[in-house]
Structure 1
Amino acid sequence: MKQAFTLILFLASLQLSAQIELKIIDNNSNLPLENVRVKSQGSPILSTDSNGIVSIPKDETIKFSFALEGYESFETTFGPGKHEVRLSPISINLAAVTVSAFESERPILEQSASISLVSEKDFSRFNETSIVNSFNTKPGIRIEERAPASYRISIRGSSLRAPFGVRNVKVYWNEVPFTSPDGTTALNLLDLTNIRTAEVIKGPSGSIYGAGNGGVVNLKSQANPNGGRISTDFMTGSFGLKRFRLGISQQVGAGGFEASYVTQKSDGYREQSAMDRKVFQLGSYFPVSEKQEIRTQLLISDLNYQIPGALNADQLAEDPTQARPGSVAQNSSIAQQSVFASMAQLYKISNRAKNNTVLYLNTNDFENPFNLDYKKELGFGYGGRSTFTIDSKLGGKDLRIIAGGEFQTSFTEATNFGNRGGVADTIRFADKLRATQGFLFQQAEWQGSEKLLMTVGLSENFSSFEIDRQIDATGGPLGVQTRTFDPIVVPRFAFNYQLNQYSSLFSSLSSGFSPPTIDEVRTNEGSLNLDLEAEKGINTELGYRLGKERLNIEATTFYFQLKQTITTYTNEQGVVLFRNAGATDQKGIEVAIDYAILQNNTGFFSDLKVGTAFTGHYFKFKDYQKQDNDYSGNDLTGVAPNTVVSRIDLRTAPGIYLNFTHQFTDKMPLNDANTVYQDSYNLVNLRFGWVKWIGKAWEIEAFGGVDNLLDESYSLGNDLNPFGGRYYQPAPTRNWYGGIKVGFNY
């Protein structure tokens, strides 16, 4: 009997010890944190006590997630026993921020390139209907929206050759090439819900990412679900704005999936500027084994938006809300339906080697009635990217070797019709198009000393396009015309020197190139400009970073020399055409300063952060002569020399918050001759709201805001060198929005 009792006590003690005890503390003060929400698979959501402790009766290793207002969310795994968890306050400390630029996952203080990180917090400072405002708070970056969902990205002036759409910038979405092989990016197919963070690499980055002198935008949306969550948003605002989102996140075993559906509509500020977008996204994550994990993405997007067109000065003064004459009658607009599917595999070959391979397939149905014609395109494409990473030693120092390749191809049937009252009329010309691009890349990172990291990168690039003319109503030649660009080798040399644990210097010398897109060669009036040359440039950069607990400073100066610059002009029929314009000199300085006046304070005002970003872009045409006109020495068209953005973010203990943003944009030339300028303007945006956890499962936010508080008259994306003086695309006047978000965690 005594032995049996002893055995029972022993088994009971084993059972009692089979638990996971966690103590959560502040990473800076080492004080325990109360009311931290702790979520794990198979258990209800728990909260820490006044000693920062929570216990879970588990006898196996499981994944946990931790959440507390004012602190960075955190995920990790623990087995039975006692463990300490440190949560870091949400801060602006660069030393704690890791990015994956140039295929090298390192803290940003160790990166040897100018990189801006746009986070969910940046997105939620504004109305969340587009990416424009959040990106524009970063130095050197300007996203224009000529009409709702009509984006144009300019990184260090790279949009000079983009009258519409995104060109000369490479975009990746969840590590998958999102830029088409013809050099264009349908960024407007994505809703902000499809983006959690964005890393923007400024300047040519061809040594790893291929074509594009402007830089690279790495968009990320994937996360590893832990437990389950259902959430929904609703927002309404001026000019008929309505937005609704429904999302679900569910852990399945060690993996899981996320799905979301978003619909957004607006009537627009101007005549003929309505927009309607529906986006469905489904992503999954499955760790097959300790060595292998699989991720999949499916994006289905249905986008319709109207194009009001540009106005001349008289029309702007008469009524800025009017559309360009003819736009309404011809139903100038774009309808685009697209499916984008991808699969990625991360395989750990050994403790020192791994491979990441992504493959994608997309389809696109595009229809564009315009004032002058009616275009229809139906196409599909596929491609992929594979990267090997090997950690080794050289001279006893750490050496990381990165090598891989990328390939893309697309096939499009494009037909241009006449436009009779918004209906496709007789065929003018029709083509079968094929675009192909690919490159191999190699990079070595050597930790020459404890403080010095040196990087050498190189890529070998090839690209071509094929235009097979099937029909030409003018009687022009039919058949295949091909343009193959000579293979281009793109090198990059860079270093990062750690001055101390808080600061570093970085520098790079890199080259870049950007071949013309098919849309720049095959114009809307049917001509083929096969003589258009690729842009080529060399960039020199020097920067400094400081990242402390409350203070963050980043300053960069650069000099970019570009040859065979592609610029735009408009003929008498209003068709946008392209030409090489000699060379440009682009000198600039970019500075970002952020300071936390209060951070997780125990009083009523818990957080108060201020920041400013200055962009000085002093770009000139170096050698540019058009017929009898010599524009050498003129300011580069469409680039504001000075931009200043200032921010104030306030958060209180009850959950009330306020975000204030002021942006000054200097006057900018709108034609190569520098005879017409857009005036400087001050744009002020304000968002306020209340966010709170209700119990352990419900999260609620109510918010509102005002855009263009000062009611400025300005254009967020002008037409450059237009015919008839149609420069101006008026942006909305003062407008408001408001909404609510609800999330349930289970």
Structure 2
Amino acid sequence: MGAGKDRGAITDGSGRFQLYQMSMGTKIKISYLGYESQIVVVNSPEEMIQVRLTPISTSLSEVTVTAFESDRKLMDIPAAIGYLGSRDLERFAIVSPHQAFSTLPGVKVHTTTIGRYQVKIRGGSMGTIGHGDNYKSYWNGIPITTSNGFNPLAYFDMGNVGNVSVIRGPSGSIYGAGINGVMLFESKEPTEGETSLQTDGLYGSYHTYRYNLEFASATDKGDIRLQYSQVHTDGYRQEAASDNEFISVSGNIRASEKGKVTFLAQYVDRFYGIPGNLNAGQVLENRKQPGNSPDFDNGLTTLSLMVGAAHDYRWNERWQNITSFSYLASEGTFLIGTPFFSLADETLVTSFSMRTATSYNFKTLGNRNGRWVIGGELTRGINQVNDFTDGFNSPIYSSRRSTDRVFLGFSQVEVDLPLDFTLMAGASFNNYFLGFREYLADDIPAFSKYVNDISPRLAITKKMGENIVLHGNISKGFTPPPRGAIDNTGRNINADLQSTTGLNQEIGIRGNLFDSRFHFDLITYRLNERNVILPKVMGNMGGIDLIRNENAGAINRLGIELTSAYDFRHLTGRNFSQAKLWTSYTYMHHVFDTYHSLQTAENEESIEISYSGKVIPGIHPHTLVKGADLAMRNGFYINATYSNYTGIYLNNENTDKDTAYAVLDFRSGIRRPLGSRFKGEIYAGINNALDERYTAVHNLNAFLGSYFDPAPGRNYYGGFSLKYFLLP
């Protein structure tokens, strides 16, 4: 529409439009739902104008997610789901996911350096030997969690992520193992009809930098995106350096109107240092000093290759099938050295996954919609580990091989009911196999283990008008005993371990109010975990506790999760394309229901102790994250984030505690077209602007009180992005 005029035009399917009687210097305003409006100037009456609109954060009613094999609006999904779009991820320095992911309620990503992450969804696992973070991951619908529960979050450059949906809580009815949740990643996709070349650069404190070069092209027949990126930091603490190099290719092939093939391939070369934890005295003395010995090259190195593809075929309006696979091969080393001991190992991991899901759309009474999904998922992996006695130049004392196989068979029915109810019911059968063999130590027996689990889920939604949805679900989740918990690095084997299970109950309400300017999503949950695998002291020998992993405890988890956002563009005039205030709040009350162990008294006798009723260490009872996002139509923007965390207990006894802390982050820049062929951005940011002193990652129940891994103080970064459109 001509700015200031009543005349306008609507584009056709290819985005073409015509306006007549335009004079030189006329301003035209281009707008579309979900995108930033843009004003262009006509320099010639016959000029062909090319306009590229930029997506903005959308409301709950506009976001579509693929969770539970159902392409529904986020508004209508009967589960606790957090969503991050590309702009949400770019509110911070895009070298790490921990800041953006931690803005979601119930989610916190802990990090000591780039590439070393611990993801906690609703408190995460207990961090026991051999435990993963108890969630699953999919990329473009392709399963990428390995058979032993490893999630390769650090294997992806965050600049390659278009959006991510985080399902909080058990979703075993269709995704299998993972008590805490599921992460669904989607790649960035180029716009149809465009071919572009882009380069990005970032530099910040502690010699942190990221360089990125990418090529993207898309037609009506498919798209492709090639990317090379390098991310480095010297680290805030000594021994915390990190080097990461990524090469990736992803895209889609639209073979016909009925079928599409999505593919992904990525090579990663990465290293990160492990500085080690400090006690309170060491933190006061010098928070940057390493806890591990600087005489060793402490850290982890990894070379990995991942490939995957998915085929989506729709026979007709009723039948559809999506089949995908992934393959991961990774080799690496791990080394930690202290004045008292050293740990060194070499690891070779391969993992193959395949998933298929067939859906049938049907009509029920009253011509209401129904959908039935049936499918299966198989993951198989081999993990070979060699342990050295004292560094890599010493002899190998243990060589072990484990084979993991996970099979998931699932079915789900989704039906629209009268009175605006929707019912979703599903269940899965899960079979887990672990085979273990030690090649060097004769006293360690080979063993195999089978575990079967059934995971049902029942969920319902009720629309309260067009803008409010009530929902609730009851689901069972589980996590099979991980190899590391069973063999405990080849010692104290306990092949009798069973899966940790959890019954989850949720009630929630979400909606849009005040002409969709105010969005909210409120969830309450209760999760009762049983057969929790925990380290249990079985006795004492020569002053050394004899520890064995057991299904030793039960945990009760209660929580509240809230997100809200208010769009106040209507109060700012026409100069702003985005003006939003938002809040994320999490309350967690997680306690041991039962947990008994032994403790060595001063006379070296073992006495029984109970942690029942104690608060789970490492859990922030209250987390409040607040943000403000402003974007002007001339391309200038500013993002501010204030994150407040209450104190946590550091040990099971609840005798040691870390204090509360708050972090303030800013990012500001300008992004805009530079003529018809270029689009650029420059930006700068401040992390921890208040220079808060806090700990990034805690080593819970640490020996001699070495709980702390201090986080950086105030630090800075800046960067640029330049995109050149080769076509059209």
Alpha-carbon distance in 1 for matches of 2:312, 2:694: 47
Q: Does 1:522 find its partner at 2:491?
A: no
Alpha-carbon distance in 2 for matches of 1:340, 1:24: 50
Residue 709 of structure 1 corresponds to: 689
Q: Does 1:537 find its partner at 2:502?
A: yes
Please say which of residues 310-319 and 519-528 is displaced more in the overlay: 519-528
Residue 183 of structure 1 corresponds to: 149
Alpha-carbon distance in 1 for matches of 2:679, 2:320: 39
1:213, distance to aligned residue in structure 2 (A): 0.4
| Letter in structure 2 aligned against 1:185 | N
Contact 2:112 2:240 in 1 (8 A): no
Residue 587 of structure 1 corresponds to: 558
Q: Does 1:451 find its partner at 2:436?
A: no
* 1:161-200 matches, cutoff 5 A: 161=127, 166-200=132-166
1:695, distance to aligned residue in structure 2 (A): 1.8
Q: Does 1:386 find its partner at 2:356?
A: yes
Structure 2 counterpart of 1:676, from 649, 656, 663:
656
* 1:678-693 matches, cutoff 5 A: 678-693=658-673
Seen in structure 2, the aligned counterparts of structure 1 residues 131 and 274 have a Cα distance that, compared at 3 Å, is same
SS in 1 for 2:394: strand
Please say which of residues 624-633 and 383-392 is displaced more in the overlay: 624-633
Q: Does 1:310 find its partner at 2:277?
A: yes
| Letter in structure 1 aligned against 2:461 | N
* 1:317-716 matches, cutoff 5 A: 317-326=284-293, 328-371=294-337, 372-396=342-366, 397-420=368-391, 423-449=392-418, 451-472=420-441, 475-478=442-445, 480-485=446-451, 487-524=452-489, 526-548=491-513, 549-567=516-534, 578-598=549-569, 602-627=573-598, 628-716=608-696
Alpha-carbon distance in 2 for matches of 1:128, 1:162: 30
| Letter in structure 1 aligned against 2:415 | W
Structure 1 counterpart of 2:79, from 109, 113, 126:
113
Alpha-carbon distance in 2 for matches of 1:186, 1:140: 20
Alpha-carbon distance in 2 for matches of 1:656, 1:449: 48
In the TM superposition, what whole-angstrom CA distance separates every residue of 1:82-137 from its partner, at most 9, and x where no partner exists? xxx99998354211111111111101111100100011111111011111111111
RMSD: 3.0
Alpha-carbon distance in 2 for matches of 1:353, 1:24: 46
In the TM superposition, what whole-angstrom CA distance separates every residue of 1:326-352 from its partner, at most 9, and x where no partner exists? 2x2222210011111112111112211
Q: Does 1:740 find its partner at 2:707?
A: no
In the TM superposition, what whole-angstrom CA distance separates every residue of 1:641-696 from its partner, at most 9, and x where no partner exists? 00000001112233221110000001011111111111100011111111111122
Q: Does 1:149 find its partner at 2:115?
A: yes
SS in 2 for 1:159: coil
Contact 1:165 1:184 in 2 (8 A): no
Seen in structure 2, the aligned counterparts of structure 1 residues 147 and 530 have a Cα distance that, compared at 3 Å, is farther
1:440, distance to aligned residue in structure 2 (A): 0.4
Alpha-carbon distance in 1 for matches of 2:34, 2:257: 30
Alpha-carbon distance in 1 for matches of 2:18, 2:674: 16
Alpha-carbon distance in 1 for matches of 2:545, 2:235: 24
Residue 105 of structure 2 corresponds to: 139
Please say which of residues 613-622 and 520-529 is displaced more in the overlay: 520-529
| Letter in structure 1 aligned against 2:264 | Q
| Letter in structure 1 aligned against 2:232 | K
Alpha-carbon distance in 2 for matches of 1:381, 1:539: 30
Q: How many residues matched?
A: 686
Alpha-carbon distance in 1 for matches of 2:545, 2:303: 27
Alpha-carbon distance in 1 for matches of 2:535, 2:661: 25
Contact 2:594 2:612 in 1 (8 A): yes
1:195, distance to aligned residue in structure 2 (A): 1.4
Contact 2:413 2:424 in 1 (8 A): yes
SS in 2 for 1:196: strand
In the TM superposition, what whole-angstrom CA distance separates every residue of 1:496-535 from its partner, at most 9, and x where no partner exists? 1000111100000000000122233333474433333321
Alpha-carbon distance in 1 for matches of 2:471, 2:171: 15
Contact 1:174 1:222 in 2 (8 A): no
Alpha-carbon distance in 1 for matches of 2:549, 2:6: 61
SS in 2 for 1:121: helix
- TM-score by length of structure 1 reads 0.87
| Letter in structure 2 aligned against 1:415 | N
SS in 2 for 1:565: strand
Contact 2:125 2:131 in 1 (8 A): no
In the TM superposition, what whole-angstrom CA distance separates every residue of 1:571-617 from its partner, at most 9, and x where no partner exists? 99999974434111111111111001115955444432101111000
Structure 2 counterpart of 1:293, from 260, 271, 274:
260
Alpha-carbon distance in 2 for matches of 1:605, 1:109: 26
1:229, distance to aligned residue in structure 2 (A): 1.3
Seen in structure 2, the aligned counterparts of structure 1 residues 500 and 87 have a Cα distance that, compared at 3 Å, is farther
Alpha-carbon distance in 2 for matches of 1:737, 1:430: 44
Contact 1:390 1:402 in 2 (8 A): yes
Contact 1:207 1:490 in 2 (8 A): yes
Alpha-carbon distance in 1 for matches of 2:55, 2:210: 32
Alpha-carbon distance in 1 for matches of 2:2, 2:221: 24
Between the two proteins, what is the percent identity of the paired residues?
A: 27
* 1:209-248 matches, cutoff 5 A: 209-223=175-189, 225-226=191-192, 227-248=194-215
Contact 2:258 2:314 in 1 (8 A): yes
1:636, distance to aligned residue in structure 2 (A): 1.1
* 1:63-142 matches, cutoff 5 A: 70=36, 90-142=56-108
Q: Does 1:722 find its partner at 2:702?
A: yes
In the TM superposition, what whole-angstrom CA distance separates every residue of 1:28-58 from its partner, at most 9, and x where no partner exists? x999489x9x996xxxx98876999xxxxxx
Alpha-carbon distance in 1 for matches of 2:126, 2:678: 47
Structure 1 counterpart of 2:711, from 722, 728, 731:
731
Alpha-carbon distance in 1 for matches of 2:488, 2:252: 42
Alpha-carbon distance in 2 for matches of 1:50, 1:271: 66
Contact 1:715 1:731 in 2 (8 A): yes
Contact 1:71 1:89 in 2 (8 A): no
| Letter in structure 1 aligned against 2:250 | G
Contact 2:444 2:490 in 1 (8 A): no
SS in 1 for 2:395: strand
Structure 2 counterpart of 1:207, from 156, 168, 173:
173
SS in 1 for 2:568: strand
In the TM superposition, what whole-angstrom CA distance separates every residue of 1:467-518 from its partner, at most 9, and x where no partner exists? 111112xx5235x311211x21110000010001111000000000001222
Contact 1:270 1:321 in 2 (8 A): yes
| Letter in structure 1 aligned against 2:470 | L
Alpha-carbon distance in 1 for matches of 2:618, 2:7: 52
Contact 1:140 1:590 in 2 (8 A): yes
| Letter in structure 2 aligned against 1:438 | F
| Letter in structure 2 aligned against 1:613 | S
Seen in structure 2, the aligned counterparts of structure 1 residues 646 and 564 have a Cα distance that, compared at 3 Å, is same
Please say which of residues 558-567 and 298-307 is displaced more in the overlay: 558-567
SS in 2 for 1:94: coil
Residue 238 of structure 2 corresponds to: 271
* Structure 2: tracts of 5 or more residues without a match: 23-30, 39-50, 599-607
1:715, distance to aligned residue in structure 2 (A): 1.3
